Amino acid sequence: MKPPRTALLLVGSPKPGASSSASLGTYLLEELEQLGLHTDTVNLTKALRSGGATESLHAAVAAADLVVLSFPLYIDSLPAPVIRALELIAARRAGLSPAAAGDKPALVAICQCGFPEAEHNEVALEICRNFAPAAGFEWAGGLGMGGGGMASRRPLREIRGMLRSAVHALDLTAAELAAGRPVPGEAVRLMAKPAIPGFAYRFVANRQWRGELKKQGATAPLDARPFG
């Protein structure tokens, strides 16, 4: 892997507004920019809305030396629109003449989930690792994060104190990727480190769901069974 000159962030959250995937990916991209890379960002769900937007996605991918895919875990895997985008990217790149090993663009993935344990992300990251050779990328590594919802409200730069392990992981990752090296093991470990103990995370999250139910003026109790 050569030191990249251009990096592309693919945001895989299907949410229309702010998301943890965008927050984590944007932080990494900004760090890469400070290290001299030219950067670009594409939201994958938006890129699937029209043929023109999908062509722009393909063009952005083709121009990148390094692609960062940041997405939320959906049922042990990637969200459907992210899978669709990967299917399209692999199909498009299958027609390209194969690049020499050192000339292939690199792919790094960030997967975060709402559970406190980062291990839930392992299979999804494995899917990304399988995608890399199928689409002509060199796999540069994956970062899995538990308690991902904590990064969703504000840009990571503003809440870096609470998520200092994740921030440190991304700092380390940016430095290595910019130098043409894969995600370091220390970054993987730091990213997976829970920001708060699991029992505290579960307690707070369960309270928040009930608070949100009231705020949204829910039509039924949290444990309603509308299908019988």
The torsion angle over the Cα atoms of residues 21, 76, 163 and 69, rounded to 10 degrees, is: -30
Which is closer to other proteins, CB of 34 or CB of 208?
208
- Minimum Å gap between C-beta 143 and other proteins is 18
Which is closer to other proteins, CB of 27 or CB of 71?
71
Which is closer to other proteins, CB of 22 or CB of 167?
22
Q: 216-224: long-range contacts at Cβ-Cβ below 8 A with a sequence spacing of 24 or more?
A: none
- Minimum Å gap between C-beta 13 and other proteins is 7
Q: How far apart are CA 155 and CA 23, in angstroms?
A: 5
Which is closer to other proteins, CB of 99 or CB of 218?
218
Give the C-alpha distances (Å, rounded to integers) separating 228 from 59, 224, 225.
49, 9, 6
CB atoms within 10 A of CB 134: 14
Q: Which residues bind other proteins (CB under 8 A)?
A: 13-16, 19, 45, 72, 74-81, 83-84, 86-87, 90, 114-117, 119-120, 123-124, 126-128, 130-131, 134, 198-199, 201-202, 205-206, 209, 212-213, 215-228
Q: How far apart are CA 210 and CA 120, in angstroms?
A: 24
- Minimum Å gap between C-beta 200 and other proteins is 11
- Minimum Å gap between C-beta 154 and other proteins is 18
Secondary structure letter of residue 57 according to DSSP: H
Which is closer to other proteins, CB of 128 or CB of 183?
128
- Minimum Å gap between C-beta 196 and other proteins is 13
